């Protein structure tokens, strides 16, 4: 799938500033919840959720767990 061929630089070029804040934060931490990401980046929780879905589609992050315990981390 072509979407998997995006490099780090390509991802950073297609993201808007708030989306980029979320992506950069996820690169700095081992894993994080949407609430942690929202608090650390000052990005609204609904926006964080949208960015996480986009990064999942781009195959740049992975979801760990389900429900309230869901965490996200950058793909290895």
Give the pLDDT score at 3.
47
Can you name the residues that pair with 71 across neighbouring β-strands? 64
pTM listed for this prediction: 0.83
Distance of CA 40 to the CA centre of its chain: 13
User: Between 49 and 15, whose confidence is greater?
Assistant: 49
Give the pLDDT score at 64.
97
The CATH code of the domain that includes 56 is 1.10.10.10
What digits encode the pLDDT tens for the residues 17-75?
999 999 999 999 999 999 999 999 999 999 999 999 999 998 999 999 999 899 999 99
- Are the C-beta atoms of 55 and 23 separated by less than 8 Å? yes
User: Between 40 and 14, whose confidence is greater?
Assistant: 40
User: Is 22 within the bounds of a domain?
Assistant: yes
User: Is 1 within the bounds of a domain?
Assistant: no
User: Domain range spanning residue 16?
Assistant: 7-74
If one counts the domains in the chain, the total is 1
User: Is 42 within the bounds of a domain?
Assistant: yes
Backbone CA torsion sign across 11, 5, 75, 65:
positive
């Amino acid at each position: 799938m072509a979407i998997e061929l995006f490099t780090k630089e390509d991802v950073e070029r297609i993201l808007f500033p708030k989306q980029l804040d979320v992506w950069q934060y996820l690169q700095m931490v081992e894993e994080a919840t949407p609430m942690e990401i929202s608090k650390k980046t000052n990005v609204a929780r609904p926006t964080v959720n949208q960015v996480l879905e986009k990064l999942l589609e781009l195959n740049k992050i992975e979801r760990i767990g389900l429900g309230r315990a869901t965490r996200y981390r950058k793909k290895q």
